[in-house]
Amino acid sequence: MTAAGIRNPGTPLQRELIEDIVVNRSAAERRAATLPGRRTVKKQWQAAWLLRAIQCIDLTTLSGDDSPSNVQRLCAKARQPVRRDLLEQLGVEHIHTGAVCVYHQYVKECVRALEGTGIPVAAVSTGFPAGLSPFEQRIEEIHRSVEDGAAEIDIVITRAHVLRGEWNALYDEMAAFREACGEAHVKAILATGELGTLTNVARASMVCMQAGADFIKTSTGKEPVNATLPVALVMCRMIRQYEAQTGVKVGFKPAGGIRTAKQSLDFLMLMKEELGDPWTHPDLFRLGASTLLSDIERQLEHFATGRYSAYHRHAMG
């Protein structure tokens, strides 16, 4: 998903460019470490940024015990992510989350529940989270989710292609997934915690963008290590390089392990510093999260009332 709704058309694979990419891990970690302490926002400015973070959340449930009832609750929460009385105290009429993200089985249910809201449904696909099911089956899974009404498809790449440096294979896989998505926007999940090095993360990011990914996403949320600021920094630098080369803006989605309001602000500050204001809006930035919203609501209630509240005051739906 790109600015003004323009899709990323992709480019031919540029192997020389990919193989020239090298990341200095120490430098990336030092730069990322400066963000949480150097940039802080307080009071009404913090409240405004937290409201923006809510608008960028892909509200997610990807559990083995998902059921129609908790998916319906998720959709209700996406439609009304903050209690009405709290919004009134903040002087805000209405907001909603950036999307709802579910397994294919619940796409139709979500589309019905969100009809008329403008909230897109995102489906995880291609053998999520491992991405090791037969290729034809992964393509068919995309087709079925699009037919059921998913406006966004979160695909997972084959990590072995990255670990072996098989850039042509990764490019062809990503291009096939992009084609199967049709008009649905495609987010490429790199599973960065399983790619070994930041150089691999950078190279995989660039290959996926060249193959037409509309977003690049850190993680499935199922890996031992998920979204981190150094990884996000590297991926953002690749997005910036790709825009400089092609003029096309590609979105970014950190996902997995983002549970606190402070973490959401750290990622928003990274977007603003590295990529600019367009990447602080939901058409180019998403936060994949399931428990983050409750902590953001608690912080907003503290701003509005001066008191911290219990989590049960901010129910799912």
Q: Which residues are catalytic?
A: 154, 217, 253
Cβ-count burial 150-165 (b if 16+ within 10 Å, e if not)? bbbbbbbbbbebbeee
- Among candidate residues 189, 248, 183, the one with its CA nearest the CA of residue 216: 189
CA-derived radius of gyration, the chain: 19
Whether the CB-CB separation of 213 and 190 falls below 8 Å is answered with: no
Where would I find the H helices in the chain? 15-20, 25-38, 43-55, 68-79, 84-90, 107-113, 135-147, 159-163, 167-181, 198-210, 229-246, 261-274, 292-305
What are the residues whose beta carbons fall under 8 Å from the beta carbon of 3, sequence distance 6 or more? 249, 278, 283, 284
Tally of helices (H runs) and strands (E runs) in the chain: 13, 8
Sheet arrangement for strand 185-189: 251-253, 215-217, 185-189, 152-156, 121-124, 99-102, 57-60, 287-289
Structural tokens at position 87: 């919004």
Helices 229-246 & 25-38 angle (0-180, nearest 10): 100
| Sequence letter at residue 52 | R
